[in-house]
């Protein structure tokens, strides 16, 4: 394998109960750097990630199928097993996501190659997607915001880009109406 060839590598983190599985597809010359950057980001969330299997996919290409209507500018996505996005994964990652035709993980994070090409893009986007995974319900989001105090803002929610739990939609159907069109 030459220095410019692409290699797909799987690494299983081992620092907590349900460790994320990290799959990095990159040229050999940048593979280690991307992997180390992703590990640093994941380690920051170590004690906050839900106890569910997570697969993080860092691509070296952009997946057009994951940039559909309302998602054209996304840099990465978080989604759960059963999401329509699940079946849009590139074939070279799908082999890691399925076992016996069934999803092997409950949650997924996918970052496009253009996102991973710069360390800052990979860092910010992976952290953003993991933050979405940490806050799974409206009550959790409100609790985190209250704990941080009034001077902090955690994130903005855009209903046209979201795939919220039914609890979020039921709690504020008017806000999520845009998503339902």
- CB neighbours (10 Å) of residue 91? 6
Residue 18 and residue 72 in one domain: yes
Same domain, residue pair 147 and 157: yes
Does 107 have pLDDT greater than 80?
A: yes
Contact 21/55 with Cβ under 8 angstroms?
yes
Whether 80 maps to a domain, the answer reads: yes
Give the chain's mean pLDDT. Answer: 77
User: Per-residue pLDDT averaged across 49-61, rounded?
Assistant: 85
Same domain? 105 vs 164: no
Separation of alpha carbons 112 and 48, rounded Å: 24
Residues 6+ apart with CB under 8 A from 162: 168, 176, 179
Q: Which domain holds residue 140?
A: 136-181
pLDDT of the residue at 166: 73
Say what the pLDDT of residue 37 is: 94
Same-domain check for residues 128 and 52: yes
Cβ-contact 61, 91 below 8 angstroms = no
Predicted confidence at residue 148, as pLDDT, reads 65
- pLDDT, tens digit (0-9, with 9 covering 90-100), for 1-47: 444 455 555 444 433 346 788 999 999 999 999 999 999 998 887 77
Could you tell me if 118 and 145 lie in one domain?
Answer: no
Q: What is the pLDDT of residue 8?
A: 53
In a domain, 1, yes or no: no
Q: Is residue 122 part of a domain?
A: yes
Q: Which residue has the higher pLDDT, 98 or 76?
A: 76
Name the token pair of 81: 């097993």
């Amino acid at each position: 394998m030459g220095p410019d060839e692409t290699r797909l590598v799987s690494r299983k983190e081992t620092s907590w109960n349900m460790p994320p599985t990290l799959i990095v597809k990159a040229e050999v010359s940048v593979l280690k750097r991307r992997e180390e950057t992703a590990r640093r980001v994941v380690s920051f969330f170590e004690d906050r990630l839900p106890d569910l299997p997570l697969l993080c996919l860092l691509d070296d290409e952009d997946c057009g199928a994951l940039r559909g209507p309302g998602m054209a500018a996304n840099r990465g996505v978080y989604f759960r097993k059963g999401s329509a996005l699940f079946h849009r994964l590139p074939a070279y990652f799908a082999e890691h996501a399925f076992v016996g035709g069934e999803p092997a993980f409950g949650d997924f994070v996918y970052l496009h190659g253009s996102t991973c090409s710069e360390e800052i893009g990979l860092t910010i986007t992976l952290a953003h997607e993991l933050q979405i995974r940490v806050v799974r319900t409206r009550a959790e989001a409100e609790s985190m915001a209250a704990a941080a105090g009034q001077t902090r803002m955690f994130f903005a929610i855009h209903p046209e880009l979201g795939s919220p739990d039914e609890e979020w939609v039921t709690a504020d159907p008017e806000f999520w109406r845009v998503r339902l069109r």
